[in-house]
Chains A and B, each alone.
Chain A
């Protein structure tokens, strides 16, 4: 799902860079006003987790590979706006240091994986899990281990699985749409596409089948396994 340089034309990559800069700006303001310093290690850990989980390329029938992103898991753990920044950091480093995703496409890749798919997947999780219980006052924080263990239940786990599955599929759909509109937007004088040459009728089914059948399930499994483990051993780290 990491779009390389050259697949998107300037209108698409420029537009998505601009969109993502505004999202980063908004997320930064949220962090500046409401994040506690004590939450920073968890954000760094989440960004690193996202970076590493994407190194696990899983082969699927058809000769291609894919991976989980951990994005919805991270949104559940640290909240959606810090998660936008955490997953974006992982994606930017992947592009700059390892050529995984293009630099012109950083806006698009962050928009798809660290915003569009993630925030909608988290929204679905929120819808199923219900309203988040805000821990208030020191007494509550001290008792929060017990409380989170009680309040983070079957509805949260179900919501996390469905949100993770839906989120990565929405990210994949955004990717497929961005690639698929290129032949409509940019053609050379010979009429051939200038950038990604495959039409929507190819990109959407090919990318969506892989994610609907395999990587969505993988994302849900990774999300649930980590949440079940953390609920047992580190419940205070789950923001919910």
Chain B
């Protein structure tokens, strides 16, 4: 492994450790009984908060169904399983983000040599 690759290895490991610690982002809000971010409510929550569901909001809110909403797998949304699916979502997300970054920049740089 080149010196350069080794240099990055440490940082990738650091990122991996961050992913393993990511469930803190679930545990802390649960501990303090905090909800989500302000203004990021689902359709049921907005009914409680605003008193009604705005028509346009109701129509648009279902336009996309993400495969892993809120970084959890369906049925894995409580307790230890939610932390596990949060970590796996983190790893999956990192893999796709890194792959996309390489792909996009290599396409942009295609045909250009330094």
Q: How far is the CA of A184 from the CA of B7 in the complex (A)?
A: 52
Q: What is the 8 Å Cβ interface bit string for chain B, positions 3-41, against chain A (1 contact, 0 not)?
A: 010011011100100110010111011011111111111
Q: Cβ of B31: which chain A residues have Cβ within 8 Å of it?
A: 59
Complexed CA–CA distance, A202 and B18 (Å): 34
Tell which of A31, A51, A65, A92 touches B109, judged by Cβ atoms closer than 8 Å.
Answer: A31
Complex CA distance for A197 and B39, rounded to whole angstroms: 10
| B8 touches which of A9, A45, A64, A203 (Cβ 8 Å) | A45
- Find out whether the CB atom of B28 lies under 8 angstroms from the CB atom of A57: yes
- Interface 0/1 of A174-197, CB less than 8 Å to B: 010001000000101000111111
Asked whether, in the complex, the Cβ of B66 is within 8 Å of the Cβ of A47, the reply is no
Interface Cβ pair total, 8 Å cutoff:
211
Contact A52 B34 (CB under 8 A): no
Q: Are A93 and B40 in contact (CB under 8 A)?
A: no
B-contact 0/1 string along A103-138, CB 8 Å cutoff: 110000000000000000000000000000000000
Distance of A40 Cα from B10 Cα, bound (Å): 17
Q: Which residues of A contact B64 (CB under 8 A)?
A: 5, 95-96, 99, 102-103
Let me know if A19 is at the binding interface, CB within 8 A.
Answer: no
**Are the CB atoms of A40 and B92 closer together than 8 Å?**
no
Q: Is the CB of A45 within 8 A of B11?
A: yes
- Residue among A35, A48, A53, A194 with max Cβ neighbours from chain B (10 Å): A48
Report if A90-B109 is in contact (Cβ < 8 Å); known contacts: A5-B64, A49-B15, A55-B71. Answer: no
Asked if B39 and A7 sit within 8 Å, CB to CB, the answer is yes
**Known contacts A57-B25, A100-B70: A65-B61 contact under CB 8 Å:** no
Question: Which residues of A have CB within 8 Å of B7?
Answer: 234, 237
Interface string of B52-81 (1 = CB under 8 A from A): 101111111111111111110000000000
Check B57–A6 contact: CB distance below 8 A. yes
Q: Quick check: is A14 within 8 A (CB to CB) of the other chain? A: no
A44 at the interface (CB under 8 A from B): yes
Distance between Cα atoms of A31 and B94 in the complex (Å): 22
Does chain A have a CB within 8 A of B1? no
- CB neighbours of B61 from chain A (8 A): 4-6, 102
Residue of B nearest to A13 (CB): B60
> Chain A residues near B36 (CB, 8 Å)?
57, 64-65
Instruction: Please provide the chain B residues from 74 to 114 with a CB less than 8 Å away from any CB of chain A in the complex.
Output: 86, 89-90, 92-94, 96-98, 100-102, 104-106, 108-109, 112, 114
* The 8 A-B residue pairs with the shortest CB-CB distance in the complex, in nearest-first order: A99-B66, A59-B34, A194-B56, A6-B61, A6-B57, A6-B60, A44-B101, A99-B69
**Cross-chain pairs A/B with CB under 8 angstroms, 11 sampled:** A5-B61, A6-B58, A32-B112, A40-B101, A48-B94, A52-B22, A55-B19, A55-B71, A89-B97, A98-B93, A237-B11
Query: Which positions in A face B, CB cutoff 8 Å?
Result: 1-7, 9, 28, 31-33, 35-38, 40-45, 47-49, 51-53, 55-60, 62-67, 85-86, 89-90, 92-100, 102-104, 175, 179, 186, 188, 192-198, 203, 206-207, 210, 233-234, 237
